[in-house]
Chain A
Amino acid sequence: MWLRSIFLKTLRDYRVAILGWGIGMGLVVISPMASVAALVTTPQARHQLISLAATFAWNADPVAVDTIGGYATFKIGIFIFLIALWPLLAGSRMLRGEEDRGSLDVLLSLPRPRLSVALEKLAAMWTALFVMGVLIGLLAFAGGKKFGGDFGLGDALFYGLNLALICAVIGSLALLISQFTQEQGPAAGWTAGLLLVFIVLDMVHRVVPNSDWISRLSPIYYYNLSKPLVPSYGVNAGAMVLLLALAAVIAGSAVWLFVRRDVGGTVPLPRWLRLPERNVSRALPVGDWSLGSVYARSLGMIAMPAFWWTLGTAAFAGWMVYAVQLIETKLATLLSGSPAFTSLIKNLGGGDVSVNAGFLSAMFFFLPLFVMAFAVTQVNRWSADEQDGRLELVLATPQPRPAVLLGRFAALATATVAISVITLIASAGAAAAAGLNVDSGHLAAATLGVIPLGLLIAAIGYLAAGWLRTAADTGLLSFLLAAWFFISFIGPELKLPDATLRLSAFYYYGTPLLHGLQLTSVLGVLVVTAVALGLGALRFANKDIGV
């Protein structure tokens, strides 16, 4: 049945994404609902939560944040970027991805108009988004029921529909941009850049008075005009219709261009927008630093992702250091009125939560998580390179196998150190700018202390890659990361035994912002890393490649 039409076949291709993304994003919406009750146990705490949310108005409109639906809507805020990732990728891949693979040529050889092929694929993407929206709505409704929300099923479904509509706009935009790019990657990149611009434009009116006209240029603004999980605020039907119309116009333009251009080609840009004609060249690159060795090439490969991860991690740490001083009073009131939140911060921060350093220490708990997640992405790349045969010709050169693996690991270690050092510089700068008195030695310990943990998960990943295929290796590392995080995040509340808590790598990170690094813990992590890396290199030296 699923292979009877292009529409059904495309929908079938989306089935895992529909379930995975729909349920995953539904859980993202539910998660903040669980914490509202713990945050508003006293009128003072409720008042402070509202006040604190107002401080973060740049993130989202702080409407009824002391309610389940309002708090969830507020918390999602700029995380719309995360939710829009799937449509962004799906839109850029829908036609251009198939052209890259050559499969569109076969599809278009069928006695079927090009317009119908494009429309069926587009309809499948929109249907997938709609089903995802329904799933998110149903999960939001279930979350509301569980945690005492005051919104109904219809409100929750409208919430899902609103998300689906903004995602349809972003997906259609990616589809349109892909008509102008030779590959799907640049289309996804340009769309992601535009999405960021839209998010920032939408923020403007919440930060700068009388600047609504700027925010109206962003589709995100119209998405935010509806807050169905806040019954008193409700749905802005006009805004939703506008989003639908926008998606239709953008997607229609993309399809119109597609049926008129060469398959495998791009829509010709006006002469003044075109890049200069590239001449045929037979020259060889001379003095390219990234081509000198396996290490240098690995560093060249990792440079761009490391840049973005550094930017994100350093910005997070810097902002936390800067903001903690600004919200000190409100935070103290909120913590004093919320034992559960206090306990959580105490478990993560490891100290007296009445001081800034305690809250900051809790926030810095996320730094090793970011760096370890970065390491997982790079292990995934190593494993995929082997699985896809990209190591075969490298291993046909006189390079010892362990040297190839260690070269890659060394590049990852270099990037990890760079992320940590730049995060330290950003945090120290932010502390100085905010006038926050933080022990510089402890700050260095908190930022540089993430390096051993990043290397640890990478070494485990390289070792596991000796046996597992890419998906299984990445899945194992993601599971390990999630399990460690759960043990350290929730474990103390669940009164897990100390032996269990010690199973988590985060345990050995400790609370360096308050207490500095524990040398024995760091050494222990480094020893385990060295052993795992040594075994990984040994395994790689003796395994069949690409089998």
Chain B
Amino acid sequence: MAAIIEVEKLTKSYGGKRGIADVSLQVEEGEVFGFLGPNGAGKTTTIRLLMALLHADSGTARIAGLDCWKESVAIKRLIGYIPGEPALDPNLTGGQILEYFAHLRGGVDQSYLEQLIQRFDLDTSRKFRQYSTGNKRKVVLIQAFMHRPRLLILDEPTSGLDPLNQQEFDRMVKDVRDEGRTVFLSSHVLSEVEKTCTRVGIIRDGSLVRIGGMAEVSAIKRYEITITFADPVPVETFKTLDGVAEVESLNHGHGVRLAMQGPADAVIKAAARYPVVSLTSHEPSLEDIFLRYYQADGAPAKEPQSVA
């Protein structure tokens, strides 16, 4: 499949302050790409460069083969956008805002627009300033989806939405994906990325530190095994086994908690030599992966030695 977003060594600084440096990535047409990073990492700067709201210091960014800066008007016909901190005319009603943006886009399918309003249960007669945070977000979401864009660029799209509307948003992203359209989504909500994205990129301090499919990213993850024994078991039994990163003794030797990085075969075989009461394994969330990559020293976390 062809890449719809192609970013090559994109760099942007704000005077002396860092923005992003040498960011390169590609997003294939039809995929849902998650863009992860803590506050100030450079997610919004990257997105605003794609939207031609900022001018890059160096590097290139192309969408659908078009240069993001030079051919921005043509690109914006293809895009639906949600900014990180959306601001709209506070004196217009939600309906007026949607109608205004529909005109600026050269018209939209009114029945689809009405369908979106129904899906989000939006009262269109209130002024934007009178909306709650969640309802403001609904207006912004609808304006991004209403013209069925080929590419959706969404910066923290579900911030402020209640769980029901988040579910509705997830369904809409799934519909978009099923129709072969593309979503570039930045988020702090890792469960949301896990649910909706096919690939993720992790950015920190302005640089892309990891990019790959969900499975590939998950391969670096650690997981946890907790074993409870009928009798005390020496913790040294597990310390040197393949795949064990950390060992912690529990309940006066009646249990162990193992941080795993790799296959569990050796652990299972070692544990089988003792009377096992229970064994549980926890899959780490993207949160864990995320936190590992944002430890203070900047580099991916070193694998710690076992502790007893």
Contacts and interface: CB of A to CB of B under 8 A. Distances in A.
Interface in B198-235: none
A547 B123 contact: no
Contacts of B140: 393
B83 A280 contact: no
Nearest to A282: B117
Contact of B96 (A288, A293, A294): A288
A394 interface: yes
A392 interface: yes
B125 A397 contact: no
B95 interface: yes
Contacts of A285: 93, 95-96, 99
A297 B100 contact: yes
A386 B79 CA distance: 21
Interface in A373-407: 388-390, 392-400
B92 to A, nearest CB: 8
B130 A389 contact: no
B90 to A, nearest CB: 9
A210 interface: no
Interface of B: 14, 48, 51-55, 73-74, 76-77, 79, 81, 83, 85-89, 93, 95-96, 98-101, 103-106, 110, 113-114, 117-118, 122-125, 129-130, 140, 143
A413 to B, nearest CB: 21
21 contacts: A278-B125, A283-B95, A284-B113, A284-B114, A288-B96, A292-B103, A293-B103, A389-B87, A392-B83, A393-B86, A393-B143, A396-B53, A396-B76, A397-B104, A397-B105, A398-B77, A398-B104, A400-B73, A545-B48, A545-B53, A547-B14
A546 interface: yes
Contacts of A397: 76, 101, 104-105
A277 interface: no
A291 interface: yes
Interface in A24-72: none
A398 B104 CA distance: 7
A284 B14 contact: no
Interface residues of A, number: 36
Contacts of B88: 390, 393
Contact of B101 (A283, A286, A392, A393): A393
Interface of A: 182-183, 278-286, 288, 291-294, 297, 301, 388-390, 392-400, 542-547
A544 B125 CA distance: 34
A392 B155 CA distance: 13
B53 A291 contact: no
Report whether over half of chain A's contact residues are helix, strand or loop; otherwise say mixed: loop
Contact of B130 (A182, A390, A394, A396): A182
B156 to A, nearest CB: 14
Report which residue of B14, B104, B118, B130 has the largest number of chain A beta carbons within 10 angstroms of its beta carbon: B104
Nearest to A287: B99
B80 to A, nearest CB: 8
Report which residue of A282, A292, A542, A543 has the largest number of chain B beta carbons within 10 angstroms of its beta carbon: A282
A393 B101 CA distance: 9
Contacts of B124: 281-284
A541 to B, nearest CB: 10
A396 B123 CA distance: 24
A539 to B, nearest CB: 12
B238 to A, nearest CB: 50
Contacts of A400: 73
A542 B53 CA distance: 9
Contact of A284 (B51, B53, B98): B98
Contacts of A545: 48, 53-54
Contact of A294 (B55, B98, B104, B113): B104
Given A284-B95, A389-B83, A398 B105 contact: yes
Contacts of B54: 544-545, 547
A396 B51 contact: yes
B114 A282 contact: yes
A291 B81 CA distance: 20
A281 B122 CA distance: 8
A393 B48 CA distance: 11
B114 A396 contact: no
A542 B48 CA distance: 14
Nearest to B77: A398
Contacts of A280: 123, 125
Report which residue of B53, B114, B125, B130 has the largest number of chain A beta carbons within 10 angstroms of its beta carbon: B53
Report which residue of A278, A291, A390, A396 has the largest number of chain B beta carbons within 10 angstroms of its beta carbon: A396
Nearest to B14: A547
Contacts of A278: 125
Contacts of B100: 291, 297
A288 B81 contact: no
A398 B75 CA distance: 8
A182 B122 CA distance: 21
